[in-house]
Every structure is written in C-alpha cells, then in structure tokens.
Structure 1
Amino acid sequence: MNTLKTGLLAGICAVATGLALPALADQLPRGEAEALGLDPARLARLDGTFQALVDKGMMPGAVIMLIRDGQIAHLSSMGTLTPDGPEMTEDAIFRIYSMTKPIVSAAAMQLVEEGRLVLNAPVATYIPEFAKMTVATGETDAEGKAVTVPATRTMTVQDLLRHTSGLTYGFFGSGPAREAYNEAGVANSELSGLEQAKLLASLPLEHEPGTKWEYSRSTDVLGGVIEAVTGQPLGEVLKARIFDPLGMEDTDFYVDDSADHGRIAEAYPDHAKIGPFGMFDPRSRAPSQSGGGGLVSTVHDYALFAQAMMNGGELNGTRILSPKTVQLMTSNHLEGIAPGKYYLPGPGYGFGLGYGVRLETGNAPSFGSAGEYYWGGAAGTYYVADPQEDFIALLMIQSPTNRTPVRLTFKNLIYPTIIDSKVD
C-alpha cells in the first residue's frame, strides 16, 4: 500500500536555543491553503489522482508543491522513493535534467548584468572554435557523412539562451546532424562542459543560427561560455552565485555524501531510458557538468529558486538578478523565428531566455495565464510559475517514459485548485 502524506502547516518554528534545524533552515514559509485561495477539496483530488497514478505504476512516487503569495500552500508526497524502497519524502533528491536550464540561464544573465557577457555577441567571442560553423543540408555523402555548407549567420549568446543556435540533440529525433553528434560521442560524461562545447563547434549545425527554434545542447554550450568567462567550473559558479546565496543546500551536479544516497529517487527500470541512455548516477563524479541537464535537487531547494524568480530576482533580502532581467528572461524572444522539427514549448507558447512563455490565456491544451513561464526535465520533473496568480507549482517524479502524460495531468489539476483568482 502506498502512503500519502500532506503538509499544510502554518509556519516553521525556531528552536529555543537558537540552533538551526537543518531540515527546515532553507524553506519557504508554510501557509494555510484556503487562506491563500486554494480549495482543500480540489487539492485532495489532485493528491488522489497522483496516488492513483502511483498505484497504476506510472512512477514509484511523487512530491508536489504549490506556492501562492510566496508561501507553501500545499505539499504532498506519495508512493515510494525507489521501486522497492521506503516511503517518498519531501526531502527526496531528484535528477532534474532540463530544469537545470533556467538556473544556468540565470547565471548567464548575472554575467550580462555585470557586462562580462553580451547577449548579441557571437559565441566565438568567448569560445573561438565557434567562429566557422557548418550547417547540415539534410543529405549524406557516399560514406554516410553529413553533407554541409558554411553557416551564413553568426551564433550569438542570445541564440544559446533561446534555443535558436542551430544546435540540436542526438538522443532523440533523426537527421544527419543528430547522427554526427552520436558518432562523435557528444554525450560522453568524461568531457567537461567547455570540452563538450568545443567538440560541438566541430560538428554540423542542424539549422542556420537565428532562424529556427530547436531544442538542443544550447544550454550546455552556454555552460561552457560561463566557464570560459569566469575561469571556473560551472558547478563552482552556480554554487557561489545561486545555490549558496539562496540556501539551496541539496542542489548540485553530484551527491557526494554517502549519507544522502538513500534520499535519491529512482525510476522503474523499464521506465528509465532517455532515448538510448539510462539515467545518470549522481553518486559518481565525472568531468561532465551539463548546463543543459546535469543537476539534482529537492522540491524545497528548487522552490527557493522559483520564488526568487517570481519575486523579480530576490528572496529574503538576497538578490540574484534585477527585476528587469527577470522580465527579459520571461518574455517571448521568438518573433519572426520559425519552429524547428520538435517545438517543445507547445501550442500557445513562445520562448524566452531559458523558459517557455505562455503568449495568451487561450490557444493551449492546458490551463494557465498569459505570461506564465515554465520548463521541465527529461525524467519528469516540472516547474511552472504564473505571475498573474502569484502561483508556482512543482512536480518531482522520476519516470522518463511517462513524463508527458503525467505533466499534462498535473497542469490541468493544479489550476482548478485556485478558487480566489487574481485575474479578472
């Protein structure tokens, strides 16, 4: 029998001695759901639906958090941490894969604010190997290699942030550029971020830069750019600039402490493939620090980042970005740019700098508001923020196979819990 646990606590108590409680030290305050405009009965329906999905075998377990007005309005966990393991807990550690992208994009924008990085500067300004790129024509030669032509446009930092770089991914889809990635071993975890970026620079692009949106290793290359500009590994940059200032103690590229290994959530073995690859093991260090998908985190840690972004770049007196920077990141940057082969933001959405951005309340297959921004990870984690409703929702699961239907179910259950809407 799977166990459901729900927390709707009002506040976090301090220890009388003044000693910090590590498990509670860096969490958002907890509020009462109904006072924050959410319907307890509809929240129970949300949890019951996810308990049923767990019972059906869609994933071993899940953690759900809804935040309203900067307070945790609803927090629940159900199922188990691993297929045959203990109960799921709210401090479980999840591979967040592409939910790494908004964090790395925020770090890049910090460098833009400091004048160390320029959005319309060529990527080659920071990594010279990108100076002369080629583009795959879609054809192959007699040896099966991609036929290429010289790129006529320059790949910029903004292209990396909005996935219009011309780069692609190799683990899904088909085409000569994707096949070239796989043959070259782009996904090799023994490559550092900067080494991987330089390897990508030697391979053909799928599109001319700046012409099409295509989900890609753009944010991995952006991580390489950050390393080139700062002279530090990406993990050190994120720790100093985002994780430590916000108190994100359980977010990193690795879980080094063996005492925390028992907190790592796992997928069912037959649901654990991401394309041809298995899920990465955060217990083992490797040179790779993927800016596009290498982080692990907890629902509480990610909530701190999400709330800071909702607040215009600040949390509890600590500012990581300017409000104008957050506005720029969460605005559409795809005017005049066509979708590529696989337009993951979906109908009704554009794309900003690290986020899918909802263009209007209608014309999408899910509830939401104009200006909402979101992204998710390949193992099923999902994050959506709605400034109009002052509402954030986080879903933490590990189920690459079932991520798409589970996310849509989540999205269409969370919005009807709002009974006191801030939107006229």
Structure 2
Amino acid sequence: MRKLLLASLALLALTAAPPVRAADPLPRAAPEALGFSAERLDRIRTTMEADVARGQLPGAVIAIARRGRLAYFQAFGHLDGARTRPMPLDAIFPIASMTKPLTGVALMTLLEEGRLALGDPITRFFPTLGDRRVAVDGNPDNTVPAVRPITLTDLARHTSGITYGGRGTTALHRLYPASSSAAARDYDTNGLIAKLASLPLLYQPASVWDYSLSIDVLGAVVEQQTEQRLGEVMAQRIFTPLGMADSGFLVSEAQRPRYATPLPTDPTTGRPQSVEMGLSAPRLDCGGGCAVSTAGDYIRFAQMLLNGGALDGRRILSRASVAEMARDHLYPDIRNNLTQTEGNMVNWGFGLTVAVRREGGATMLGNPGMFSWNGAYGTAMWVDPQEELAVVFMASTPGVLRQYYRRVINALVYQAILD
C-alpha cells in the first residue's frame, strides 16, 4: 500500500511540475498548477498558427510565467521573413524600446551605490545641457528660458522636454535625431550630448509626457559614472547575473543564424520593410532602443522585477528601487500624451522607464499597478504583480500590426487565468 502511495505521489509530482529543460529560462509547472487553463492557453497557438498561415507575421515566441514558474513557452511559425526556417525558442529579436527598462535598472544600480539621486539635475553630469531654452509651438527661432533644470526623474519618465525627431512635424522636430537607433547610427555618446545641447527643448521640463531620446541621455549618465560603455555595464550588472546569455547590443557571428527578421513586405501597407538592429556595432549603445534579446532572456529580467529585484539568489536591485520604478510618476499637472505612442494604454501613467496602469477602467485586461513597455519592431512585455504574472511576446512586426498583437496577446493570456 505504501509503495502504491509513493508511486501515486511521484506521478502527481511529474504531472504538476515537469522537469526543467535546458531551453527553459525558469522552472516549468503545469498550467493548472499555476491557475491557468491549458485548454484556454492553447488559443494562443491556434491564433498564432492561423495568422502565420495567412501571412500576417513570420512567427513569434511567447513566454508566460506565474508565481515564479513557467506556465507557457512556445515558438510559432518561422524565424525569417522568407519563411524558410522554423522559429526556435531561442530566436534573437531586436527589442527596440524594451531596452529602456534595462537602462532604468542600470541607472537604479548606481543610485543604490550612492553615485546619483533621481532629483539630480542633468547639469551635474553634463553641464552643457544647462541653461536650456524652450521652443514656442515647436519653433526653434522663438524660444523662452526653461523654468527649471532637467532632472534624472524627468529623463526616466519622458518629461524632460527633449523629443524624438520622428514623432512630430514641427521645425524643431526636424532638427532632432529621429529615433534612438538613428542617434546610435549618427553619433557617439559625446556627439549625442553635444547635439542635444545645441537644440531647444520642445516643452518645459516636467510639463508634458513626450516620448523621446531621454533614456539615451540616461544611458550616457550610466556610462559617465562607470567609465564603461552601456552594454558592458548591463552585461556586468544585469545580463551575466541573470543568465541572459543572448542579450546585448551586437549579434555575434555565432548568433546570427538565430536572428529573427520580418516579412519583406508589410501585410497592412504593402510597403517594403526590414530590420537590422544589432547586426553591426552601433556608435552608441543607445539606452533607448538598440539592444537585442530573446524571450527566454527577457522573461528572466521581467521575473526579477516581479520578484522585487532578485532571481535565483542573485539580487540586482532592492525591492524599494523596483517599487520606485513601477510607481506612477506622472502627477496631475503633467500632460499625459502616452496614448499618442501606445494607443492601447488608456488610463496608464508612467514610472521610471516603464508605463504603469492606474486605478479605473482601461482598454486592455489587467490590474492597477501592472507595468510594461514594448518595442517598435513587435516585441512586448508586462508584469502584473497582483496576478504574480510576467509575460514576454517576441515577434518581428515593425508595422502597425505590433499594436494589434499587444491587444490580442493581452486578451489571450488573461482569459486563460482561472483563479
């Protein structure tokens, strides 16, 4: 009888918690053991396979963790836009603005060492960014003085008054680098700071949320304080401790066969499209959008944040630092233009390099206090502390379809939660 009982318990353990495989970034558990319906989670597969079959995207990888364990980790479709190679679980994606939370964590490690404070003016690090002027209605020839200096908090929450040149049509926008990747192509760190110092701001500091090169400036602060390139700092303080072996700013020759590419033609607009971020060394390790990673690597980063700064016995940040990152820093007197960048984020504020959902209704499922940021080439991540949930979705969809998949994956994950 005792042998029968032990055998039954062993079988139950195998069913509830499948053994960790080499490719698994976190310990696995059966979906039901984590409060999911396996049948409902399978809707992700049917949706992805149908969309791949009709040519909406080449493929995708999704990782879903709950209560510290991996409930779902699957690859779909093809790695390449020509649709000739199956998508591997360890496909490498250019994560664009999902680089920003990595930069935020790197910055907070320096705060914890007493090297800086969030209220520090940027002039402490780069005096040339002082004595700012602000363009009136985007006219660089008509300016007024900035009412106060830009702080590190302003940079981290996109209220610095700096902008992205590609996100507006004013004369001032035309003078700014179009994006983080454009800045990395055209400038080194010193060159970018000099370029920004030569331009007026679009808005008064702390008055408007405006998506911008601000996080690239934070990356420059990290480099100055450590006397290292940003990629080296991230490798030492984030990637190596967390085992994120495929994350960085340059895809090696050995990694190139795993680099994901989009369809050659955007299925919505019919226009040619391509992405090559990470295939050649950038002049600047841009903190705002130049890194590459995998779904497995990034789910470990997201789980570290969900855990309050630690994973597998390695502490990256204190719980207090993570809480400050994930706190809404957009006060009522700051104009919130977030939905102009992320249309799905209705009733969201912004913390330090991540968006934060507020109390009240929204257009996507989830809970107040969840935090997220996404990438322009089709990647997305969010952390929902109330559900003990972390999700990473990787696809190469640089067009408008990326917004569609953020809504779809959000719905497919939450509809599968049973408890």
TM-score (norm: length of structure 2): 0.89
Partner of 2:379: 381
1:10 has 2:18 as partner: yes
What letter is aligned with 1:148? T
Q: How does 1:58-137 map to 2 (within 5 A)?
A: 58-84=56-82, 85-137=84-136
> Are residues 96 and 409 of structure 1, via their aligned partners in 2, closer, same or farther at CA, if it must alter by over 3 Å?
same
Rounded to whole Å, the distance in 2 between the matches of 1:406 and 1:82 is 18
> Are residues 338 and 309 of structure 1, via their aligned partners in 2, closer, same or farther at CA, if it must alter by over 3 Å?
same
Moved over 3 A (4+): 182-186, 275-278, 340-345
Rounded to whole Å, the distance in 1 between the matches of 2:274 and 2:159 is 27
What letter is aligned with 1:151? A
Partner of 2:5: none
Q: Report the CA distance between 1:277 and its aligned residue.
A: 9.3
Partner of 1:230: 226
Partner of 1:245: 241
SS at match of 2:402: helix
Rounded to whole Å, the distance in 2 between the matches of 1:205 and 1:320 is 34
Q: Point out the more displaced range, 130-139 or 326-335.
A: 130-139
Rounded to whole Å, the distance in 2 between the matches of 1:200 and 1:330 is 28
| Structure 1 residues 360-396: Cα deviation after superposition (integer angstroms, max 9, x where no partner) | 2x42111101111111000010001110110111100
1:201 has 2:209 as partner: no
| Structure 1 residues 25-45: Cα deviation after superposition (integer angstroms, max 9, x where no partner) | xx2111111111111111111
Structure 1 contact 194–225 (Cα < 8 Å) conserved: no
Rounded to whole Å, the distance in 1 between the matches of 2:64 and 2:409 is 11
Structure 1 contact 66–393 (Cα < 8 Å) conserved: yes
Structure 2 stretches of 5 or more lacking a match?
1-15
Rounded to whole Å, the distance in 1 between the matches of 2:142 and 2:77 is 50
Rounded to whole Å, the distance in 2 between the matches of 1:356 and 1:139 is 26
Rounded to whole Å, the distance in 2 between the matches of 1:32 and 1:233 is 41
Rounded to whole Å, the distance in 2 between the matches of 1:146 and 1:295 is 35
1:55 has 2:53 as partner: yes
SS at match of 1:270: coil
Rounded to whole Å, the distance in 2 between the matches of 1:403 and 1:306 is 20
SS at match of 2:278: coil
Q: How does 1:13-52 map to 2 (within 5 A)?
A: 23=23, 27-52=25-50
Rounded to whole Å, the distance in 1 between the matches of 2:207 and 2:48 is 40
Partner of 1:313: 309
What letter is aligned with 1:165? S
- Give aligned-pair identity as a percent: 40
What letter is aligned with 2:19? G
| Structure 1 residues 115-134: Cα deviation after superposition (integer angstroms, max 9, x where no partner) | 10111111110011111222
| Structure 1 residues 179-215: Cα deviation after superposition (integer angstroms, max 9, x where no partner) | 1115999635142234313311221211011111111
> Are residues 353 and 341 of structure 1, via their aligned partners in 2, closer, same or farther at CA, if it must alter by over 3 Å?
closer
Q: How does 1:338-377 map to 2 (within 5 A)?
A: 338-340=335-337, 343-344=340-341, 346-360=345-359, 362-377=360-375
Partner of 1:3: none
Q: Report the CA distance between 1:56 and its aligned residue.
A: 2.5
Partner of 2:164: 169
Q: Report the CA distance between 1:279 and its aligned residue.
A: 2.7
> Are residues 304 and 408 of structure 1, via their aligned partners in 2, closer, same or farther at CA, if it must alter by over 3 Å?
same
Structure 1 contact 77–89 (Cα < 8 Å) conserved: yes
